[in-house]
């Protein structure tokens, strides 16, 4: 079953749409990005336009985005179709900082550092701590304001690591048809959907990596080690 990306209308639920930014040239060239502030390429801009079309009829109350330009310019394609809604930019939704391997091709980093190439900068626990803090703040604020639909734009590594963390450590359940094996690095401009009960805070990851707007419901990233 393909989950439909649509507005939540249940007053008891907060629906969060987690969107990955569009493609960059570094994505295409298999270069590790981390905190490098690279913009969308032509394909990424087209992907952003298409995901923007998907959100035309979704009643977003607010959006929080990574402050890196590849996320900000993806969000602009969503907000241009809508009434003015709050857009918050934050460092805390940035990709994991990767130290000296940022800007290196993946194969070069693997050759030089092996499987530890990811650990040349920000530690995994520090990375998860900052994303977890931002997530809690977003959810608390959204529920306090009685929001129903909330957008989040961030990076592939953030989505993969953090949604796996929410499932394995915070009790977020998986929706119909989803398995742990599906929680991989999602495709550019893919949309993942999480429903949170405003009273109990029980949550369900309803869909992960939906790319129906790109012509196929769940396109896959071939190189899962890129960040």
Whats the size of the chain, residue-wise? 227
* Residue from 77, 95, 122, 134 carrying the catalytic annotation: 95
Known catalytic membership, residue 167: no
1.10.3720.10, 3.30.1490.190, 3.40.50.1240, 3.40.50.1820: CATH of 13-214: 3.40.50.1240
Q: How far is 140 from 152, CA to CA, in rounded Å?
A: 14
Domain boundaries, the chain: 13-214
**83-88, Cβ contacts within 8 angstroms, sequence gap of 24 or more:** 85/60, 85/61, 86/61, 86/62, 87/62, 87/63, 88/62, 88/63, 88/64
Q: What is the pLDDT of residue 222?
A: 83
For the stretch 51-70, what's the b/e string if a residue is b when 16 or more beta carbons lie within 10 angstroms of its beta carbon? bbebbeebbbbbbbbbebeb
**For residue 23, which phi and psi values (nearest 5 degrees)?**
-65, 145
Clarify whether 21 is annotated catalytic.
yes
Binding residues: 20-27, 70
**Residue 37 exposed, middle or buried by CB count within 10 Å (0-12, 13-18, 19+):** exposed
Element (H, E) at 28: helix 25-29
Q: Which of 150, 163, 133 is nearest to 13 (CA)?
A: 150
Write down the pLDDT at residue 2: 64
User: Which residues sit in the known binding site for substrate?
Assistant: 20-27, 70
pLDDT at 10: 98
Radius of gyration of the chain (CA): 17
DSSP code for 174: E
Q: What are the average pLDDT values for consecutive 10-residue runs of the chain, which has 227 residues? A: 86 98 97 97 98 95 98 97 90 97 96 93 96 98 98 98 97 96 96 98 97 90 80
Tell me 120's DSSP state: S
pTM here is: 0.96
- CB-facing half-sphere around the CA of 101: CA atoms within 13 A: 28
122-160: b or e for each residue (b if 16 or more CB lie within 10 Å)? beeeebbebbbebbeebbeebbeeebbbbbbbbbbbbbb
- Tokens 């900052």 — which residue? 130
Which residue is it, tokens 């989803």? Answer: 178
């Amino acid at each position: 079953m393909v989950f439909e990306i649509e507005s939540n209308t249940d007053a008891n639920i907060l629906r969060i749409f987690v969107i990955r930014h569009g493609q960059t040239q570094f994505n295409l060239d298999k270069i590790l990005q981390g905190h490098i502030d690279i913009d969308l390429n032509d394909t990424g801009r087209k992907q952003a336009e298409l995901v923007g079309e998907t959100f035309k009829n979704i009643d977003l109350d607010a959006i929080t985005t990574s402050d890196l330009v590849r996320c900000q310019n993806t969000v602009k394609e969503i907000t241009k179709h809508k009434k003015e809604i709050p857009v918050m930019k934050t460092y805390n939704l940035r990709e994991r900082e990767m130290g000296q391997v940022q800007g290196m091709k993946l194969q070069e980093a693997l050759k030089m550092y092996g499987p530890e190439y990811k650990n040349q900068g920000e530690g995994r626990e520090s990375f998860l701590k900052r994303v977890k803090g931002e997530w809690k703040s977003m959810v608390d604020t959204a529920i306090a304001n009685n929001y129903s639909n909330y957008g989040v734009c961030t990076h592939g590594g953030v989505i993969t690591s953090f949604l796996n963390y929410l499932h394995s450590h915070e009790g977020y359940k998986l929706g119909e048809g989803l398995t742990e094996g599906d929680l991989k690095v999602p495709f550019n401009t893919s949309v993942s959907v999480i429903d949170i009960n405003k009273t109990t805070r029980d949550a369900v990851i309803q869909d992960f990596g939906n790319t129906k707007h790109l012509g196929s419901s769940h396109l896959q990233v071939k190189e899962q080690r890129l960040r």
